[in-house]
Amino acid sequence: MSEFIQKVDYSMPRQCGIFPPPPYEYKKARALAIILQCDFETKKRFLPSTLEPIKGGIDGLFISEYPYTTIGPYNEMILSLNCKYKDQPGDFICNIYVDDDIALTAGREIWGFPKKMCKISLSPIKENKITGSLTRKGIKFIDVEASLTDPPKGMEPKTLLESMPIYNLKLIPDVADNSKHAIRQITETRPIYGEFYDIQGIKVNYLNTEYSQYDICHEILENAKKNIGGFYLVFDLILPNGKILE
């Protein structure tokens, strides 16, 4: 693991920044990765205009536990929408939640991940089942249970994950003019996956969502296909610097 080194004038507060520069290392991360197919028109509504939804594309919901990282332990949930930037397929991070302030600020300020704080749970495996939930501002807006199965044939998670760059829309408002942004960028990041210690398939027993005025997960998932399956994974990961597409 990289040593967490405070760097003056890299991030705020400038004299003792809250997060170090990338790359960030993740060891023995575990994740419940649920394959989805979200409604095409819904995806069009929530994607930035520069990204085009892919009909029949595979979307995803990931609830992850990161016990050992460059910035310390934390939990995370990602809702990604399959799309393309020009001719390059990738995954747009529509919603992402964490339970740590370093992960929140680094994700937003470096890559443009649209992170919010949330209470996130991912249970140990018990009787061949795993559960996960997200609760924010007193509303449990995602609640899921899955049973472990054999890995899906013909689907290799490392290949699937590395073949799709991550797209974000990085927004920072202008301090003087609320009608424009100081920064508005489409960014691309390509995580590097290391060893996979455990790969199992999953059968989704239920994936319940609840409306919340503070979040849009319910609107995106309400009409999605949620019983396609997915993976339970334990793996290593490196999150490197990204690049600006426009």
Ranges of beta strands (E only) in the chain are 24-37, 52-53, 59-66, 68-69, 74-85, 88-98, 115-117, 119-122, 129-136, 139-149, 166-173, 181-189, 192-209, 225-239, 243-244
pLDDT single digits (tens) 187-243: 999 999 999 999 999 999 999 999 999 999 999 999 999 999 999 999 999 999 999
**Residues in Cβ contact with 21 at an 8 Å cutoff, skipping those fewer than 6 apart:** 7, 10
The string of pLDDT tens digits covering residues 59-118 is 999 999 999 999 999 999 999 999 999 999 999 999 999 999 999 999 999 999 999 999
- Residue range 16-64, pLDDT digits in tens: 889 999 999 999 999 999 999 999 999 999 999 999 999 889 999 999 9
Greater model confidence, 153 or 224: 224
Specify the pLDDT at position 14.
87
pLDDT in tens, 156-166: 888 889 999 99
What φ, ψ does residue 17 adopt, rounded to 5°? -60, 145
Task: Please tell me the pTM assigned to this model.
Answer: 0.95
Asked whether 225 and 56 are in contact (CB, 8 A), the reply is: no
Mean of all residue pLDDT scores within the chain: 95
Alpha helices in the chain (DSSP H): 40-46, 101-106, 157-162, 217-221
The answer to whether residues 209 and 142 touch, using CB atoms and an 8 Å cutoff, is yes
Average pLDDT of 138-154? 93
pLDDT for res 67: 98
User: What is the rounded distance in angstroms from the CA atom of residue 241 to the CA atom of residue 84?
Assistant: 20
Domains of the chain: 25-244 (2.40.400.10)
What single-letter DSSP state applies at residue 8?
T
Look at residues 128, 123, 59 and name the one whose alpha carbon lies nearest to residue 95: 59
